[in-house]
Structure 1
Amino acid sequence: MECIVSLEGLAPSQHGQLKYAAAFIDETITDIQLETNQIRIVHASAKGNDAIEQRVRKLMERFSQGDFGFKENILFEHPVSTPYEGDIIAELTERKIIKVLEPGLFIFREPFSSLMRFLDYSFVTKVANRFSGVTEEQYPAVIHAETLNKTNHFTSFPEHIHFLTHLREDLDIIETFSQSIREAGGWKQQDQPLDLNETMPKPKFTMNPSTCYHCYEGLQNETLEGDGIVVTAISKCHRFESRNHSDFGRLLDFSMREIIFVGKPDFVKEHRLQAIEYLKELAVEWNVDSMLEIANDPFFTNDFQVKASFQRNQEMKYELRLTIPHIKKSIACSSVNFHSNTFGNAFNIKMGKRNAVTGCVGFGIERWAFAFLAQYGLDEAQWPVSFREQYHAWQQKSL
């Protein structure tokens, strides 16, 4: 079935947000297309078109309330005429450099995997290590659900969460499960007779959606000395984004390098401003077609307008976006964030008698690699001289 809904009354700047959120209104949706002032949704819902339209209009109301609007506010631009305009993902797939397991879930092979390692090395040496006293930490890929609760992730981004659980510690349940799989001839996703309430406990953990959360969890109930600390870490992050995983660079499982600032307000704000300058320098040095703009997180819940407006008005989030010539769009590859004392309060991180404030800089490793190759292709002779020389020097050092 097709459900077509007019977008009259919704600002064009919010059409993309609506398309993203619409993927979550019904699990039978197979396609969503934005057309001239309307949205077309293909689905197989037993509830029919009326129910789909009602949910679309509910989202439209959410995104159109208040004096907001996604006004473009570009702080920096580095326009470049890049040599490659092909479909880089199609080329990488055809050449078996990436293996697509399903939308948003890839296996990366050489040379893409080397490019990812080089990018992470560069973000550490060119950005993180420029901050005095920076230390490196390593985090698990899973996180306590209680920790996510303290970050308000459940109320801001509930659609992203991958819950983790396991079979109950019950010999009968474990043996019955194993026997049922054996008799069925193997795991069959659609035919599993599992009663999750009976066979699995409530989740204690989820997959980690953001690198910096572990840093705050690790500092819980601590009092920091001096003006603050700088920590860097890379971890695997996981966000379920439904049909949106078919969008360029929107992965289910991805690598996020972060530089995290925790301390007094002036310390965090000054380090954040430095990080912005380092990002701009990197974009120019590597000659990537890019821009830095004020942004907001894609809050999913009913208080979208309040949270997004606050972020933008206070300039709490900047994104460095790299152009993808083939689709004539850009994607966010890095973000620079200021959280005020949200996480300092949540985790009782102290600076003297006051709670700490926090900020972070994030680098999506796969996104940077995809975006760079989308502009310059796999032929290294076409790469910017500075990038190519640094990449080859890193390769020699890594041998």
Structure 2
Amino acid sequence: MECVVSLERLAPGQHGQLKYAAAFVDETITDIVIDGDTLRVTHNSPHGADVIESRLNRLIDRFSKGDFGFKENILFEHKVDSPYKGDIIAELVESKIIKVLEPGLFIFREPFSSLMRFLDYAFVTRIANRFDVKEESYPAVIHCETLNKTNHFTSFPEHIHFLTHLREDLDVIETFSQSIREAGGWKQEEPMSLDANMPRPKFAMNPSTCYHCYEGLQDETLEGDGVVVTAISKCHRFESKNHTDFGRLLDFSMREIIFVGKPDFVKENRLKSIEYLKELAAEWNVDSFMEIANDPFFTNDFQVKASFQRNQEMKYELRLRIPYIDKSIACSSVNFHSNTFGNAFNIKMGKRNAVTGCVGFGIERWAFAFLAQYGLDQAQWPQAFREQYAEWQQKSL
């Protein structure tokens, strides 16, 4: 079945946000297409077309409230006529450099896996180490209480991957095991009453590297002007049909540089990080631009939150262009959170709560975007990037 709704109430810059959110309207949706001022959604919902149309219009109402538009505000641009124009994903799959397990879930092999390690090394040595930085290591899971303090449940509920387990009950465990054995193995469609046999989740997969940093500083009083921390961790965000989009992964690696301290300390270091990121993008000669952005809040007050972020310039994104689809993807973000997390975790600077900011680097996205512009032939890579990669390889032997 197909449901068609008009987009006349939305500014063109909001169409992409609606398309993204529409994937969460119903689990039977198979295709979402924007055709001019029309949104076409193909689905097999038992609820019927009227329900799907009503839900889509609820989203349109959410994104159309007020006069907030998504006008581009580009702070930096480095244009490059990159030499590679092909479908890099298809080439990587055909050459077995990546293995697609399902949309958004990949196994990475050489040379892609080496490129990822080099990129992380470069972000640490070329940017993070220019601050008085401390390295930390975080788990891939996070306590639900911690996510609650960050307001993640109310701002991005659609992304959450909950973790749970079978109840600590011998009968439950043995019955479950026997049911799998009798079914001939795990079957996704097999009707099992797992809900009754699993406790309420205590943990979730971590959606953002910096959350663990704030959790680790809870109830502490920091000395001096503040601290700078860097860490890389696996992050997980469920994004439904959007995982078919270029670079939108279910499981990904995020390197972050995190600033926690006095307002001037965080703001000044954030501005420095923007300059360092711009320098690196130009030095590596990647086709890129930096713009004011907002998070994809999945809330009824989307307009208020998104408008506040943009007006206060709390989020910048460095986007790299993908030639063969004529689009760009966000590969790094530079964020200022004010005292949101300082308040939530009671992190003190003297008598006041700390403010925070962070710089994020999506490692897989950087690798995908770079190869989408320059391909696998290293002879075509920009000289500075090629030389730094070769030097890193020698050090890694």
Quickly name the TM-score band, shorter chain normalised.
over 0.9
Aligned-pair identity (%): 83
How far apart, in 1, do the equivalents of 2:73 and 2:192 lie? 52
The residue number in structure 2 matching 1:17 is 17
Residue by residue over 1:148-186, the C-alpha shift from the partner in whole angstroms, topping out at 9 and shown as x without a partner, is 000000000000000000000000000000000001000
Whole-Å separation in 2 of the counterparts to 1:290 and 1:325: 11
**Counterpart Cα distance in 1 of 2:15 and 2:351:** 45
Alpha-carbon distance in structure 2 between the residues aligned to 1:370 and 1:376: 10
1:267 maps to which residue? Answer: 265
Q: Which residue of 1 aligns with 2:224?
A: 226
Aligned residue in 2 for 1:157: 156
| Superposed counterparts of 1:300-311, under 5 Å | 300-311=298-309
Distance in 2 (CA, whole Å) between partners of 1:303 and 1:153 is 14
SS of match in other structure, 1:68: coil
Determine the C-alpha separation between the residues in 1 that align with 2:115 and 2:191. Answer: 40
Q: d(CA) in 2 for partners of 1:162 and 1:155? A: 14
- Separation (CA, whole Å) in 1 of partners of 2:135 and 2:211: 15
| One-letter identity of the residue aligned with 1:70 | F
Alignment partner, residue 385 of structure 2? 387
Match of 2:93 in 1: 93
Letter in 2 for 1:189: Q
Structure 2 SS opposite 1:326: helix
Aligned structure 1 segments of 4 or more residues deviating by more than 4 angstroms: none
Question: Secondary structure in 2 aligned to 1:191?
Answer: coil
What is the alpha-carbon distance in structure 1 between the residues aligned to residue 130 and residue 8 of structure 2? 49
Q: Shift in Å at residue 8 of structure 1?
A: 1.2
Q: What is the aligned partner in structure 2 of residue 251 from structure 1?
A: 249
- 2:137 — aligned with what? 138
What's 2:2 paired with?
2
Measured in 1, the distance between the counterparts of 2:33 and 2:378 equals 36
- Matches of 1:5 and 1:69 in 2, distance apart? 20
Q: 2: CA distance between counterparts of 1:268 and 1:312? A: 18
1:316 shift after superposition? 0.2
**TM-aligned CA deviation for residue 388 of structure 1:** 0.3
1:195-210 equivalent positions in 2, closer than 5 A = 195-196=194-195, 198-210=196-208
Q: Distance in 2 between matches of 1:5 and 1:357?
A: 43
Paired amino acid for 2:161: H
The question of 1:287 aligning with 2:267 is answered no
User: Equivalent residue of 1:8, what SS?
Assistant: coil
- Name the CA distance, whole Å, in 2 between partners of 1:229 and 1:46: 53
Q: Which residue in 2 is equivalent to 1:109?
A: 109
Output the amino acid matched with 1:121.
Y
User: Per-residue deviation at 1:36?
Assistant: 1.6
User: C-alpha distance in 1, partners of 2:234/2:9?
Assistant: 40
1:181 match:
180
Query: 1:9, CA displacement in angstroms?
Result: 1.4
| 2:170 paired with 1:171 | yes
Q: Give aligned pairs, total.
A: 397
- In the TM superposition, what is the alpha-carbon distance from 1:195 to its structure 2 partner? 3.6
Q: Which amino acid aligns with 1:136?
A: E
User: C-alpha distance in 2, partners of 1:124/1:347?
Assistant: 26
Q: Which amino acid aligns with 1:23?
A: A
Shift of 1:10: 1.0
Q: AA paired with 1:174? A: I
Look up the equivalent residue of 2:289 and give its one-letter code.
M
> Within 5 Å, which residues of 2 pair with 1:333-344?
333-344=331-342
319, 328, 345: which one pairs with 1:347? 345
| Cα distance in 2 between the residues matched to 1:206 and 1:327 | 34
Amino acid at match of 2:79: P
Q: CA deviation at 1:194?
A: 2.2
Report the residue type matching 2:146 in the other structure: T
What is the alpha-carbon root mean square deviation over aligned residues?
0.5
CA deviation string 1:266-295 (max 9, x = no partner): 000000000000000000000000000000
Secondary structure of the 1:373 match is: helix
Q: Please tell me the residue identity of whatever aligns with 2:293.
A: A
Match of 2:395 among 369, 393, 397: 397
Residue identity opposite 1:302 in structure 2:
N
Q: TM-score, normalised by structure 1?
A: 0.99
Cα distance in 1, alignment partners of residues 343 and 9 from structure 2: 39
Question: Displacement of 1:192 after TM fit?
Answer: 3.5
Match in the other structure for 1:332: 330
For 1:92, give the aligned amino acid.
L
Q: Deviations over 1:238-279 (max 9, x none)?
A: 000000000000000000000000000000000000000000
